[in-house]
Structure 1
Amino acid sequence: MGIQSSVVTVLWVWSALAWQRLCSGSYQRYNISPGFQGSQMDWIDNGGIFLLSNSSNFGFGFVTNSPADTTAFLLAVIHQSSTTIVWTANRDSPVAHSDDFVFDTDGNAYLRSSGAAVWSTNTSGQGATGMLLQDSGNLVVLGSAGPLWQSFSHPTDTLLSGQTFVEGMVLVSKPNAQNLSYHLGIVSGSSGGSDLMLYVDFQPPQPYWSMQQENRKIDNKIGGDLHSGALVSNSWNFYDQKGSLLWQFVIGVGGGGGESDANVTWAAVLGNDGFISFYSLQSGGPSIPSSIKIPRDSCDTPEPCSPYYICYSGTRCQCPAVLSSDPNCNPNIVSPCSSNTAYTLASVDDGVGYFATNFISPSFKVNLTGCKEACMGNCSCLALFFDDSSRNCFLFDQIGSFRQQSASNKSTYLSYIKIASNGSGGLSPVQDGNGSSGGKHFVIIIIICLVTASVIAALIYFAIRIHRRKRLPAEPSQGSSEEDNFLESISGMPIRFSYRELQTATDNFSVKLGQGGFGSVYLGKLPDGTQVAVKKLEGIGQGKKEFRAEVSIIGSIHHIHLVKLRGFCAEGTHRLLAYEYMAKGSLDRWIFQNNNGHGQLDWDQRFSIAVGTAKGLAYLHEDCDSKIVHCDIKPENVLLDDNFLSKVSDFGLAKLMTREQSHVFTTLRGTRGYLAPEWITSYAISEKSDVYSFGMVLLEIIGGRKNFDPSESSEKAHFPSYAFKKLEEGRLKEIFDDRLKYDDKDGRVEATIKVALWCIQEDLSLRPSMTKVVQMLEGLSDVPQPPMSSQVGFRLYANVFKSTSTEEGTSSGPSDCNSDAFLSAVRLSGPR
């Protein structure tokens, strides 16, 4: 009896294994259940496909990454007859033929490679009952109450008929040969409201097409914010939050058979050339492309030609004259912020435009001279475009192809690129009509001029040396000599002035601009007519350390939104710093209601100031050789020039951090009302503390009031708490300064308020980076609803703040951080 039982058991196990192996070569139609598992090898006879839709039009399984590579596989949904991939789980992480797809008994579906999950639906413990592939091409994990997960909510580079594309979703193309990817998303447009936009993943991203500006669309409704889009029949339809039809974009005209058939499945594919192409996926046949593409012209994409080339209609590429001597048509600028090369701006050919200027807000409004100075003052700026009619100035840190404007649409833009001033970036003498002999004569003239200029420069140099030697003070002490050696060793130091030179420039320090943290600031004028703000340090016993820190840090930093150190004095016991002069003073003079007679800033000016300040901080955090934490962001440390261009000051004592460090304790001290909660707890200070302070400043810019005002009602006295309350009530715009006029459709208003509330989250891990802040403010990244978790913490923090504040509320004086956690340090203020 025992032997018979054993034989039955063995036969049963063998039968089960045989049945499992037999089934592994069969399609699992329509639905698979939890407990399913298999690799590409198990389904090799079926081309790797193990799940079909009910109509067999779509399949799900393993497909090769490319025809040339048969060893790497993607887990994908494909259109069967045309073998078109319409969705991919692991596009960036191909797997081997032995790696498994698992739909485990806990309800989670995932792809496993070398023992680790490379993709997952994250549906564990949610009661999943099965996985099915719908006839629409939508892969769904089902629960008892409906879908728990679906591929239509996580698109890759393709949209299908019936698939709703909503805010927060993004299509991303495959990388091209230059490793660039293109993105499609619903974002805040430059003219307000939401828009469907294409953008390239430059740093920062640059948009190149928007549906609002697409002249081929059909307008069905005036007004309304875009919320979603879907391919319906032979058009791409777009809807507002209420489902009302806003626009239609017809895609079937000229596309081949079946354009008007409502049963035809259309696919919109974002390719690695930057175009959105449309295909009709025929049942049982190949895909048929439509003649319609987005954008219309290849010159409207970021790189139809190589960077710096000019694209002409029909994708004819031509190098601009200024770079024609370089075989690669390239200024050959590598790491300009860490290079010692001198640069200049060179004009590009007439009638040349750039794809991004139609879709982004200008960096600022200024005259051409100011625009050039802004680019030259920003080491990361590679090109500028100036609209002479509107005075809009655009600066770009990364450049694609230029484009030649048509005769009927001549651009009013003036275009300049940064090149090496010695001509190595492509500048070369232009030969005359006589050919090489004219070129030789030109070269001889240039050589004679250079030799003459060198002799004159040498004579001037020696004359200055002799003159200064006569004026040298007595032999310095050992300590002074030591500091001189230190200062001389700093590379790229600003101009070194004598004390008498700065005394003369300031008319013996007669015009006092303000009082800084450790000295007074005076108005000065250099011999060349340049105005400067001279900070005269007092009490050198402590000032030497702060002076060294500020000179070594600020002297090596150049950015359009950071105050520039023009020079310094280190003579005997004198310590002075000469900054660029900021004619409009500090931000606090302009945004608060009691602004001592200063004019009121309009909304556009305030927004521009906020973006500029964010860019300055992002540069300190991300783009310097060492990460710099400011630790004292407040309106008094945001200075404005003649054109209300904002610049961050007073970062000379910021704590330097290596990029490997994420947190540090600092010896600095900030200002009450702008300090992050971690300043009064045991948490370490990091760049996220600056993000918090920026959020508080941003609230003051938005509200036109200080964050703590005891003259207000108890509800409004602490402005951040009031802001969170209005967020909870869905009445965010009540936070906005009621003195300002703005367009109700201007999406920047609500987005800016939300950004501020994200920045002041009590949990520092929830605060965005300053780079992310810039992207959200400029509409290149969505701004989700801020969490309410900080509201209770803010009420507690507000009470602590009130108990330590002066009658002025958010006083501009530094807080006392002389504790065991925060050591005392002297704060050096920037020019006021």
Structure 2
Amino acid sequence: MSTELVDAGDQLSYFALSFAQPSFAKTNLESCKSSCTSNCSCLAMFFQNSSKTCFLFNDLGSFTRPSSTSGFDAFIKVKAGGIGSGGGSNGGKGFPFGAIISIALGTVFAILALLFVAFRCYKRRGRGFQESHGDSSEDDMFLENLSGMPMRFTYKELQTATNDFSVKLGQGGFGSVYQGVLPDGTRLAVKKLEGIGQGKKEFRAEVSIIGSIHHHHLVRLRGFCAEGSHRMLAYEFMANGSLDKWIFRRRDKDQEGEFLLDWRTRFDIAVGTAKGLAYLHQDCDVKIIHCDIKPENVLLDGNFLAKVSDFGLAKLMTREQSHVFTTMRGTRGYLAPEWITNYAISEKSDVYSYGMLLLEIISGRKNFVASETSEKSHFPSYAFKMMEEGKLGEIFDSKLNLDKEDERVSTAIKVALWCIQEDMHVRPSMTKVVQMLEGICPVPKPPTSSPLTARLYSGIFKSISEGGTSSGQSDCNSDVYQSAVRLSGPR
């Protein structure tokens, strides 16, 4: 087959010219053309007159048309007489080459546009899979390095156990909790973590912390699921749910009796919770700060045995560490002053939260209730005042019958007020709290509420009396300041 070189002029460039090595150097145009003509594989040639270099190309891609001359003379090999034959005004070049180039470039750009759209669609579809696959691989590596892990369930097993997540028990931290039953009849509470981010951190914290420890007053992690994008935690089922629904007054007064705990049961719950925290602080290989002690995280089994739950915000400390700096986490209304003032925290921060919890167990009410009179709105301040006036009965839940001979009432009140001292060094350890509650050691009268505590809540009282809320750190209301808002940050 006869071929010829068609002159494309100096308005055409080729992307490979920016990095390809010259086929010949120190040559001339005619020699370059002759080399391409005699080479069966050559499809195009470019000659740069300024450097006397010749470029031969066996494969062709996309041509470009620069705004100025390219500096190269371009020639394309075609079938002899196949283009522009017939002796038009262009002579030997008689063909509409500009039109051919325009069509070729338009076709190339159209193909590139289609490829770009297809790529975007693929990335959009695959993003979720890639994220979940990446998280899954990362979690698999994390889990492989853990010892003493609980059972690992498949997603299908927990989906079957929960009857496709049909019975919702409640809303926990970072996910919903569903009732489940294993084939052997074991009842479970399955927390289905929602989303990534904090949910992923909670998953790792729960598996690594609670999965390796066992105590009578800590909720037991039966197993977990880490499959694709699914992250679930399977706990032992606690028949009586969380403590908050048993100690706080219900709006439906007709059913209030069903949810009212007697003082003996409440006291046992307080002692059990204290024992669980003492174990975390003193008896584990590493010191564990729970960071989110509140009634919602104290669960009760069928016999009202208290167990601490929800370790998603927990912080680990070595035995050599006395305190640690970390981002704010926990729930408003139970946070120790050091959280708010950005001081280092320690296990004494849990002690403060426990003291706030104990006051709520004793009083049967939230520690902050805007509908109360200003004196009782912040109940801890009111409790300190009643202790000073010798009116401990005013702190006790009015829905219960107070036995003035029961020393456990005054003991619990004084222990609670010791726990919520502003100075963390004054607060007792949880081991000491257990000893005081069980009567092993005496409970001295605690110091009165600090001036700082009064200042912290003076803005709250003022906003209540004015019928509104103030701005800044004192900006809180009955719905927000109690326990509805969790403040958590990366670990």
TM-score (norm 1): 0.40
**C-alpha deviation, 1:815, in angstroms:** 4.5
2:371 to 690, 694, 711: 711
Residues 249-260 of structure 1 aligned to structure 2 (within 5 Å)? none
C-alpha contact (below 8 Å) 2:375/2:382 kept by paired residues: yes
Closer, same or farther in 2 for the Cα pair 1:533/1:743, shift >3 Å?
same
Deviates most, 734-743 or 495-504: 734-743
* 2:451 match: 792
Cα distance in 1 for partners of 2:338, 2:240 equals: 33
Cα distance change, pair 643–806 in 1 and its aligned pair in 2 (3 A): same
Cα distance, 1:478–1:699 mapped onto 2, change above 3 Å: closer
* TM-fit CA distance, 1:816: 4.3
| Equivalences for residues 3-42 of structure 1 within 5 A | none
Structure 1 position 535 matched with structure 2 position 200:
no
Per-residue deviation, residues 7-30 of structure 1 (Å, max 9, x unmatched): xxxxxxxxxxxxxxxxxxxxxxxx
Instruction: Specify which of 143, 157, 182 is matched with residue 487 of structure 1.
Output: 143
Change (3 A) 1:613 1:555: same
The residue number in structure 2 matching 1:825 is 490
Residue of structure 1 in register with 2:482 after alignment: 811
CA distance in 1 between counterparts of 2:201 and 2:259 reads 39
1:639 matched to which residue of 2? 299
Give the aligned residue type for 1:787. Answer: P
Gaps of 5+ in 2: 1-131, 462-473
In structure 2, what is the equivalent of residue 614 of structure 1? Answer: 274
One-letter code of the match for 2:478? E
Structure 1 position 573, deviation (Å): 1.4
CA contact (8 A) 2:150 2:222 kept: yes
Q: How much has 1:685 moved relative to structure 2?
A: 1.3
**CA distance in structure 2 between the aligned counterparts of 1:624 and 1:800, rounded to whole angstroms:** 41
- Kept after mapping to 2: 8 A contact 1:754/1:785: yes
Bigger helix fraction: 2
CA distance in structure 2 between the aligned counterparts of 1:703 and 1:543, rounded to whole angstroms: 34
- Residue 738 of structure 1, aligned match among 384, 395, 398: 398
Within a 5 Å distance, the mapping from 1:94-493 to structure 2 comes to: 477=133, 480-493=136-149
For each residue in 1:74-106, what CA deviation from the matched residue of structure 2 results, as whole angstroms up to 9, or x when unmatched? xxxxxxxxxxxxxxxxxxxxxxxxxxxxxxxxx
**Gap change, CA 1:711 and 1:479, over 3 Å in 2:** closer
* Equivalent pair of 1:724/1:791 in contact (CA under 8 Å): no
Q: 1:560 offset after TM fit, Å?
A: 0.9
Deviates more, 1:644-653 or 1:588-597: 588-597
For residues 328 and 165 of structure 2, what CA distance do their matches in structure 1 show? 29
CA offsets, 1:674-717, max 9 Å, x none? 11111111321111111011001100111111101111111111
Structure 1 CA distance for aligned equivalents of residues 459 and 276 of structure 2? 30
**One-letter amino acid matched to 1:792:** P
Name the structure 1 match of 2:245.
589
Aligned partner of 1:720 among 360, 364, 380: 380
* Aligned CA distance change for structure 1 residues 621 and 743 (closer, same or farther; 3 Å): same
**SS of alignment partner, residue 684 of structure 1:** coil
Larger radius of gyration: 2
Establish whether residue 575 from structure 1 lines up as the match of residue 240 from structure 2. Answer: no
Mapped contact 1:537–1:576 kept (Cα < 8 A): yes
**Equivalent of residue 630 in structure 1, options 270, 273, 290:** 290
Whether the 8 Å CA contact 1:537–1:575 is kept in 2: the answer is yes
Shift of 1:798: 2.1
State the distance in 2 between where 1:710 and 1:774 align: 32
Q: 1:497 to 1:548 in 2, by over 3 A?
A: same
1:786-818 alpha-carbon deviations (Å, 9 max, x no partner): 011x2433222223666332333643233446x
Please say if residues 554 and 652 of structure 1, whose CA atoms lie closer than 8 Å, have aligned partners that are also in contact: no
TM-score (norm 2): 0.67
**1:763 and 2:423 aligned:** yes
Identity of aligned residues (%): 71
Q: Which residue number in structure 2 is paired with residue 441 of structure 1?
A: none
Distance, in Å, in 2 between the alignment partners of 1:754 and 1:521 is: 36
- 1:628 counterpart letter in structure 2: I
Contact 2:158 2:180 in 1 (8 A): yes
Q: Partner letter of residue 689 of structure 1? A: S
* Counterparts in 2 of 1:799 and 1:529: CA distance versus 1, 3 Å: farther
Name the structure 2 match of 1:551: 207
8 A contact 2:222–2:236 mirrored in 1: yes
What do residues 140-195 of structure 1 show as CA deviations (whole Å, max 9, x unaligned)? xxxxxxxxxxxxxxxxxxxxxxxxxxxxxxxxxxxxxxxxxxxxxxxxxxxxxxxx
Aligned residue for 2:158?
Answer: 502
8 Å CA contact retained: 1:711, 1:717: yes
Q: Residue 485 of structure 1: CA displacement?
A: 3.3
Offset at residue 734 of structure 1 (A): 1.6
Match of 1:799, as an amino acid? S
Structure 1 CA distance for aligned equivalents of residues 138 and 479 of structure 2: 44
Q: CA deviation at 1:825?
A: 3.1
Shift, 1:488, TM fit: 2.7
1:672–1:805 Cα contact (<8 Å) kept: no
Structure 1 Cα separation of the partners of residues 459 and 229 of structure 2 = 42
Question: Helix, strand or coil: the match of 1:514?
Answer: strand
The structure where strand makes up a greater share of residues is 1
- Give the Å deviation of 1:767: 0.3
The Cα shift of 1:514 comes to 1.2
Deviation of the 1:744 alpha carbon: 1.8
Q: How many pairs does the alignment contain?
A: 346
> Which position in structure 2 is the counterpart of 1:521?
177
Q: 1-side partners of 2:434 and 2:251: how far apart?
A: 28
TM-superposed CA distance for 1:759, in Å, is 0.3
Q: Distance in 2 between matches of 1:551 and 1:712?
A: 42
**Residues of 1 paired with 2:202 and 2:247: CA distance?**
31
Amino acid at match of 1:729: E
State the distance in 2 between where 1:549 and 1:732 align. 40
Determine the C-alpha separation between the residues in 1 that align with 2:219 and 2:305: 11
User: Equivalents in 2 of 1:815, 1:540: separation in Å?
Assistant: 17
In 2, are the aligned partners of 1:673 and 1:801 still within 8 Å (CA)?
A: no
CA RMSD of aligned residues (A): 2.1
The corresponding residue for 1:690 is 350
Q: How big is the shift at 1:545? A: 3.1
Pair 1:610–1:541, CA change in 2 (3 A): closer
Cα drift, residue 665 of structure 1: 1.4
Letter in 2 for 1:493: M
Partner AA of 2:385 in structure 1: K
Classify the secondary structure of the residue corresponding to 2:356.
Answer: helix
Q: Is the 8 A contact 1:631 1:668 kept in 2?
A: no
Residue 657 in structure 1 maps to residue 328 in structure 2? no
CA contact 2:243–2:295 (8 Å) conserved in 1: yes
Instruction: Say if 2:337 is the partner of 1:672.
Output: no
- Distance change (3 Å), C-alpha of 1:816 and 1:567: closer
Q: CA deviation at 1:650?
A: 1.0
- Give the letter for the 1:796 counterpart: R
The separation in 1 between residues aligned to 2:328 and 2:187, in whole angstroms, is 30
Please tell me whether the aligned partners of residues 675 and 692 of structure 1 are also in contact (alpha carbons under 8 angstroms): yes
Q: Does the CA-based 8 Å contact 1:584-1:639 persist in structure 2?
A: yes
Q: Deviations over 1:583-620 (max 9, x none)?
A: 11111101112275342100100000000000011111
Structure 1 counterpart of 2:435: 775
Confirm or deny: 8 A CA contact 1:558 1:564 kept in the other structure.
yes
1:648 aligns with one of 302, 308, 322? 308
